Amino acid sequence: MKSKITLKDIARELEVSISTVSKALKNSEEISRDTKEKVQAFAKLYNYKPNNIAISLKNKRTKNIGVVIPDIVHHFFTTVIRGIEKYANARGYNVIVCLSEESFDKEVINMEMLANGSIDGFIMSLSSETQAKGDYNHLKEVTDQGIPVVLFDRITNEVECDKVIIDDELGAYRATQKFIDQGKSKIALITTDDYLSVSKARTKGYRKALQESNLGVDESLILKLPSMEMDEGAIKTFLNEKNPDAVLCVNEIFAVYSMRLVQEKGLKIPEDISFIGFTDGVLSKYANPSLSVVAQHGEKMGEVSAEMLIDKVESEAEEESYQTKVLEPTLVIRDSIAH
């Protein structure tokens, strides 16, 4: 077991000072060619690599970014992480992932853990509990300390920082519009409570499309579930009672489950009833029939978030200017609607 070699070790072996070694390894003009070659050769031979922690302590940059998300076992968040990781890695940053599991307390604890020097900035999506509670002091404390934060997808207006979202309202609007164009008249929405910023926006887009048409909004066609968790009973009852001819769902799972329910009743998709979901994951692709969705471009979102964060981290300027980037959703047409 050969433990890591340090500058001090090299200095001792070569009988020069630590400073000389450090400079020689950085190819400083100050050091003679002879010495530099000697040092560099020795360093290569013994596979010297500077200690990240020491460097971090010195220049107060960790090259780590903290990602705090509610859940990782969800296709959307997974793709975002991938986008963040790819981009961050290309710029020499590592990604520390923390899960809040939709809990306010865990979100707070995780952030405190990381905020004490472990990371240069945060990328996060709020837990549902945090959004329900409306308490963002943990975020404010972090930004007050000068740690940059980028909020994505589940955001709040109460914190001043960079933000990245997709235009959920537009996505829902277009999906609903699609149903209307295809002559559907009883268009249902299966969503969650409004405290989730994304659900709220999607519901708004759905309403807008219907209001602009001559159909108008029928409140009874909107099913609001208390959380993103599946509630099979509620959905079943809803679909049986309302018999819609088109259903927009705020995620894949609600949609795929609903499709199975109506298929069991003998309905034909998309002739009798059409479906569109949110999130372009494996489920949509391999469902039977395949599910049309509003794609959220999670990977892109991750890239953009990481770019904004790292740019801010590396910018010396203390300009207090924050921007919100809005990505366009895309409607992916598959067999769950006519085409």
In the set 12, 13, 19, 44, which binds DNA (CB under 7 A)? 19
First to last CA, the chain: 64
Q: Is 305 in the site for a copy of itself (CB under 8 A)?
A: no
Q: Which residue has 């959920």 as its token pair?
A: 168
From the list a copy of itself, DNA, none, partner contacted by residue 85 (C-beta under 5 to 8 A by kind): a copy of itself
Candidates 64, 274, 292, 336; binder of a copy of itself (CB under 8 A) is: 64
Cα separation, 4 vs 173, whole angstroms: 58
Q: Which residues of 261-272 are buried (b: 16+ CB within 10 A; e: fewer)?
A: bbeeeebebbee
Which residues contact residue 169 at a Cβ distance below 8 angstroms, ignoring those fewer than 6 apart? 201, 202, 204, 205, 208
Which of DNA, a copy of itself, none interacts with 8 (beta carbon under 5 to 8 A by kind)? DNA
Which of 12, 13, 27, 32 contacts DNA by CB under 7 A? 32
Residues 180-199 that bind a copy of itself (CB under 8 A): none
Rounded distance between C-alpha atoms, residue 33 and residue 134, angstroms: 62
Q: Binding of a copy of itself at residue 256 (CB under 8 A)?
A: yes
- The nearest distance, CB 149 to DNA, in angstroms, is 20
Q: Between 112 and 218, whose beta carbon lies closer to a copy of itself?
A: 112
Indicate the Cα dihedral angle 279, 280, 283, 286, nearest 10°. 160
Q: Does 137 bind a copy of itself (CB under 8 A)?
A: no
Which of 27, 94, 185, 220 binds a copy of itself (CB under 8 A)? It is 94
> Which of the stretches 24-32, 191-199, 206-214, 330-338 binds DNA when contact is defined by CB under 7 A?
24-32
The answer to whether 128 and 227 are in contact (CB under 8 A) is yes
Q: Which is nearer to a copy of itself, 99 or 175 (CB)?
A: 99
Residue 41 touches DNA, criterion: CB under 7 A? no
Residue number with CB closer to DNA (33 or 282): 33
Contact footprint for a copy of itself (CB under 8 A): 1-4, 49-54, 56-57, 62, 64, 72-73, 75, 78-79, 81-82, 85-86, 89, 94-99, 110, 112-118, 144-146, 252-253, 256-257, 259-260, 263, 281-283, 286-288
Contact footprint for DNA (CB under 7 A): 4, 6-8, 15-20, 22-23, 25-26, 30-35, 48-51, 53-55, 57-60
